[in-house]
Structure 1
Amino acid sequence: MSKKVNCPFNKFTRAIGKFFHNPKPYLKRFFFSFVWLAILMFIIDIVTKHVIMKNMSLNQEISLIPNFLTIHYVQNSGMAFGLDIKPGLTNTIFFIAISVIGAGVLIFITARYWKRIKSLPRAALMLMISGTIGNLIDRSFYINYAAAPVDGHYPHYVVDWIGVGNFARFNIADSCLTVGALILIVYLFVMEILEDARKRKAAKMPASDESIKKGVSLDETQIVDVQVEPVIEAKEEPKPVEKKKTTSTKKKTKTSNE
């Protein structure tokens, strides 16, 4: 008897067959995973940076809304939102390491607690992962050879092109990081308030009502041992049968005989 070998290709084909047979649950699961959001924002970030670099010269500025919104192509060798730090090999390695660690931590948290994470914080984490990886790509591969080398090395940079008023220039990846972090912070803050309100309400509620409302049974330590005597129906005792007085009859018979 030859044993059946579980081939990974067979599992893959079966999964594909199940998907085409009934794609609705798979598409629903994929939608609420928000992986598509991370992929979409990553692609938009990379494409917009490429278009800006190919069609604009460095430091060129195009006004979209006067005195408010501009497209301003700059090369940022520092931190996010144009925060300037002296470029150099040490800082470049530091920023790349921070990006790698940040992306790794976010991916680990998302994968480790995937089933326990709600939809909104999951979307926020996906945005943060997308933004971290987007800027990591820039810092790893974009090198400014036109600039003067610092400590014998040309500076790496991130492409920033969005300008809002006098605020520092940023890109789509920075926006994803900021929006995702804000959503996560607000969500955790609101959930903490709701949890605190629930605890206060539970503290004011009587123990019996609380247990009934939560649907939680009492612990064995909370159960009072009450001995209940069995109820026995009282049976009516039969009345004693009165003995007939035979003495009088005997006397009468004696007198009659005499």
Structure 2
Amino acid sequence: MKYRHVIFIVILILLIDQTLKFWIKTHMFMQQEFIIFPNWFRIHFIENEGMAYGLKFGGDFGKIILTLFRLFAVVIGFVYMKKLVKEKFNTGLLVCGSLILAGAAGNLIDSMFYGLIFSDSVGYEVAKFMPGGGGYGTFLHGRVVDMLYFPIYEGYLPKWIPFKGGDYFVFFRPVFNIADAAISVGVITILLFQKRFFGNHLQPKTAGQPVTQDHVIE
């Protein structure tokens, strides 16, 4: 796998992520919802100020710090991916790293620019792209657009369940986006297959040791 393949994966994920976000932002108002498959998949438009899956971090100052950290992480990520390609790491690791990098870059674009290029989504008003009066925020103060919602189960828990019995429960509650999904898939896959992905590079190499197929990256 070559570095240009990493760039291709990143660009592909970014195009899918940003195209969906642009459509949501310019066609839906906040909290609007479309049911795709009853009882388990909906398009539900929300925005968040912070991290993946709607988590928050430290108010306005924390927002700036988080965005700058994302920018730093993306820059370092591209450099590190180039190093992994050069050292011929497992193709699966390179694909997962590309997914994580693309996800981080996708949410970074929202945080850096969406406040500048979109009007606010308030009430039943759909946001406008490049509004005449300027966007809803400033540079680094954009909000991340989320829309994928999978409430696979909604209902009251049986009363015999300790602590939460009888409470209303939703699984899976978080609303997320393509970038979040790419990061999650990349991280989880690396954790599951870390021995395969890193094995050949963690083992001490001896002179004349044959190179295995997993070590060779076309």
TM-score bracket for this pair, using the shorter chain length: 0.5 to 0.7
Q: TM-score, normalised by structure 1?
A: 0.57
Identify the residue that residue 160 of structure 1 maps to in structure 2.
Answer: 146
The unaligned stretches of length 5 or more in structure 2 are: 122-136, 152-169, 211-218
Partner residue, 2:124: none
Q: Map of 1:214-225 to 2, 5 A cutoff?
A: none
The CA distance in 1 between the partners of 2:182 and 2:25, in whole Å, is 20
- 1:192 positional shift: 6.6
Question: Given the alignment of the two structures, is residue 179 of structure 1 paired with residue 185 of structure 2, yes or no?
Answer: yes
Higher relative contact order (CA 8 A, sep 6+): 2
The aligned runs of 1:35-184 (5 Å cut-off) are: 35-85=7-57, 87-88=59-60, 90-115=61-86, 116-143=88-115, 146=120, 156-165=142-151, 166=170, 167-184=173-190
Question: Are the aligned partners of 1:38 and 1:126 in contact in 2 as well (CA < 8 Å)?
Answer: yes
Q: Following TM superposition, by how much is the alpha carbon of 1:185 offset from its aligned partner in structure 2, in angstroms?
A: 2.1
Deviation at 1:91, TM superposition (A): 1.5
Mapped to 1, the partners of 2:149 and 2:57 lie a distance apart of 19
More helix by share: 1
Q: Report Cα offsets for 1:116-159 as digits up to 9, x if no partner.
A: 22211111111111111110000011228659xxxxx7753100
Name the aligned partner's letter for residue 71 of structure 2.
V
Structure 1 runs, 4 residues or longer, greater than 3 Å off = 28-31, 84-87, 144-147, 189-196
- Which structure is larger by alpha-carbon Rg, 1 or 2? 1
Task: State the 1:69 CA deviation.
Answer: 0.8
Query: What are the superposed Cα offsets for residues 67-103 of structure 1, whole Å, 9 maximum, x if unpaired?
Result: 2111001011121101244641x12211111211221
SS of the residue aligned with 1:57?
coil
RMSD: 3.2
**What is the identity, as a one-letter code, of the residue corresponding to 1:184?**
I
Name the structure where strand makes up a greater proportion of residues. 2
Aligned residues: 169
Q: CA deviation at 1:195?
A: 9.3
- Distance in 2, matches of 1:70 and 1:128, equals 24
Q: Which residue of 1 aligns with 2:128?
A: none
Give the whole-Å Cα distance in 2 for the aligned partners of 1:50 and 1:29.
31
The CA deviation at 1:194 is: 8.9
CA distance in 2, matches of 1:128, 1:102: 11
